[in-house]
Structure 1
Amino acid sequence: MDTAAAILALLADRTRLALLQQLTEGEADVTTLTEACGAARPSVSQHLAKLRLAGLVATRKDGRRMVYMLKHGHLGRLVNEALNAADHQIGHLPPHD
């Protein structure tokens, strides 16, 4: 329960959620992630470091660039489900299973 709560706490930040959502679409470098989430580059780097330390994202070197990716598909599904739940709440859509 503690680990699950810690993961959900990391997702509770708008910037981190935006970064993770972008990574559900595939690998990306810091420049791409900065443009996608609209935050300042130093902020994006700090959030990515937190996600990496938590074991939620992995990295690989591509020349001089550091490329980020989700560590596992479970996280991508969790992010997508959270965003779908938000869409339902905002759009007042009927519940479903």
Structure 2
Amino acid sequence: MKCPTCGNELKRSEKNPEYLLCLTCRKKYKVAPKKYSNIPEAEVREKRERKVKKGYKEMVDAGYEEEKSGSIIPLVILGILIVLVAAFIIYLYFFK
């Protein structure tokens, strides 16, 4: 940080670290307290987002594989039901 009066670098006080000292002007400036936030830095956020996206993609891919391999059985059952209903309708229409 630079001195607002002369522009030289400020040095942290050894006695009280809440103050910065200008050795040229012989003035001290109080340091504003840091504002803490729950929002992590951009690098940390991006790393977490990549990890979550990777986990989500793996979960979706695993679900797709399960759905893909097990999808033949419901189709067979549906086909059998359609044939049975068609046979019943033909029986009612022609043989009554």
TM-score, scaled relative to structure 2: 0.23
Higher helix share: 1
Larger gyration radius, structure 1 or structure 2:
2
Higher strand share: 1
TM-score, scaled relative to structure 1: 0.23
